[in-house]
Amino acid sequence: MVYAFNAEARTILMKMNNVTLRWTKGLLILVSLGCFNSVCFADRIKDFTDIAGQRSNQLVGYGLVVGLDGTGDQTTQTPFTLQSVLQMIGVLGVTLPSTGNQTQLRNTAAVMVTADFPALSRPGQQLDVTVSSLGNATSLKGGTLVMTPLKAADGQVYAQAQGNVVIGGSRAASGGASTSVNHLSAGRIPSGGIVERAVPALLVDEFVQLDLRQADFSLMQRTAETIGRRFGIGTALPIDARSLNVRVPTEPLKRTAFMAALQDLDVLMGSQPARVILNSRTGSVVMNQAVRLSPSAVAHGNLTVKIQQSPTVSQPLPFSRGQTTTVTEDTATISDSGKENSLISVPGGASLDQVVKALNMMGATPQDLISILQSLRAAGALRAELEVI
C-alpha cells in the first residue's frame, strides 16, 4: 500500500513538472517575442496584405433618373438634362418638335452613377451602384435609373446599371415650411449593376507578389519567417519593406490550396507606431497607447494646461504575498486663467488622453485642439505622429 501511494505521488509530481515545464517554455517564447510587457496579437496574412495585380477599379457613368414626383431638375436651369432626355428618346424612335426651353421635365433628374469593380469579376456578376444628383433636383426618392453604361479610366464600358433608387430619408411639407430627414439627392441601387466585361487576368507564374498595406521592415521579416516555417525556407523572398515574392505551385488545384493556406497563416503583429488622429470638423481625438508627452511648456490664449503628478500607495490584498508600492498618478486639468501667453510646465510621462479630455470638458474648439497638439508635435514634446482629417 505504501509503494502504491509513492507511485501515485510520483505520477502526480511528474504531471506537475510537465505542466510547469510547458508553462516555462511558453513564458520564454513570450519574452523572446517581446510580448511580456506589451499587448501582442496576430493577424492573418490576408488581413494586412494584397496580391499584386488583383485590385478593384472605379467605374463612373452619366444617366437619368425618371419617375420622380415633381422633384426632378428644372430644365430651364439645367439644360443638359433636357438634352439628355431628347437624345435618349431619339434613340428609341421618338421625335419632338423644336420647342426651345419651354419643355419642363420635373420628373427627371440627371445623375452621376459610380461603382467599385471588384478584382476578378466575371461577366454576369452584380454590383452595388451609387446614384448622385447632378442638377438641382430636390429628391431622388421613388425614381428609377435608366440603363447607364459604366466606364473605367481607360474609357471602356465594363458594366451596365439600372434599377430603383433606394433613398434612406423623407421630406415633409406643411404650409410654407418643409422638413427633410437625411440626404435625399443621393442613393444606392443594391445589385443594380451587371458586369459586361472582365479585366484581363495575369498569367500564371511561379511567383505571386504580396504587398503589405503599410511598409514595415519588421513586419516583412516576421511574415517571411512565418511563411518559411510553414512551407519551407526559400518560399518567401522579400523585395523591400512592402513587397515579397512567394513561390507557388503552377497546377491550378495545388495553387488554390496553397494560396488558401498561405492567406490563413497568423503573423505576430509588432507594436504599432504612436499616432494621434484629430478630426478638425468634430474635434474628435483618437490615439493609441504608445502616445507619450515629453517635458514642455504650453500656452494657448487664455487656456491653461496643468498636469500634476501625485504619489499614491498601492496596498496589496491580505495573504496575496504582494508588496506595498508607491505609484505616480498623472492628473490633467484645463482652466481659463484670463491671462494670455502664460507658460505652463508639462512634466515628462504625462498622459495625453487626460489633456484632451480636460480640453473637451471645458469646451475647447477643434481649432484649439489642433493648435495645441500641432505645437507640441513641432516642439518634439508629442512623441507621436499627428494626422488631421
Output Rg (C-alpha) for the chain, integer angstroms. 32
In eight-state DSSP terms, residue 98 is: -
Q: Taking the CB of residue 289, how many other CB atoms lie within 10 A of it?
A: 11
- Parse the chain into domains and list their residue ranges: 57-90+102-171+178-195, 203-269, 275-314+326-388
Q: DSSP characters for 298-322? A: E-BTTEEEEEEEEEEEEPPPTTS--
Specify burial of residue 315 (Cβ count, 10 A radius: 0-12, 13-18, 19+).
exposed
- Per-residue pLDDT 10s for the chain (389 aa) are 334 445 554 554 454 445 444 433 443 343 344 454 445 577 899 988 998 888 889 999 999 999 998 888 888 888 888 888 888 888 888 877 765 556 677 899 999 999 999 988 999 999 999 999 998 898 999 999 999 999 999 999 999 999 999 987 666 554 554 556 667 889 999 999 999 998 877 767 889 999 998 888 989 999 999 999 999 988 999 999 999 999 999 888 899 999 999 999 999 887 777 888 877 777 677 777 777 777 666 666 665 555 555 556 566 666 656 666 655 555 444 445 544 444 455 555 556 666 666 666 656 677 777 777 787 788 777 778 888 77
Residue from 85, 83, 49, 47 nearest 66 by CA: 85
- pLDDT tens, 285-324? 777 777 777 766 666 666 555 555 555 656 666 665 666 6
Residue 386 half-sphere exposure toward CB, CA atoms < 13 A: 19
- pLDDT tens, 151-177? 999 999 999 999 999 987 666 554 554
3-state SS, one letter per residue, for 142-186: CCEEEEEEEECCCCCEEEEEEEECECCCEEEEECCEEEEECCCCE
Beta strand 385-388 pairing with 275-278:
parallel
Specify burial of residue 299 (Cβ count, 10 A radius: 0-12, 13-18, 19+).
middle
Instruction: Give the C-alpha separation, 97 to 77, whole Å.
Output: 20
Instruction: Give the C-alpha separation, 303 to 365, whole Å.
Output: 11
The model scores a pTM over 0.85: no
The set of cell numbers assigned to 23 is 508553462
Beta strand 144-151 pairing with 157-164:
antiparallel
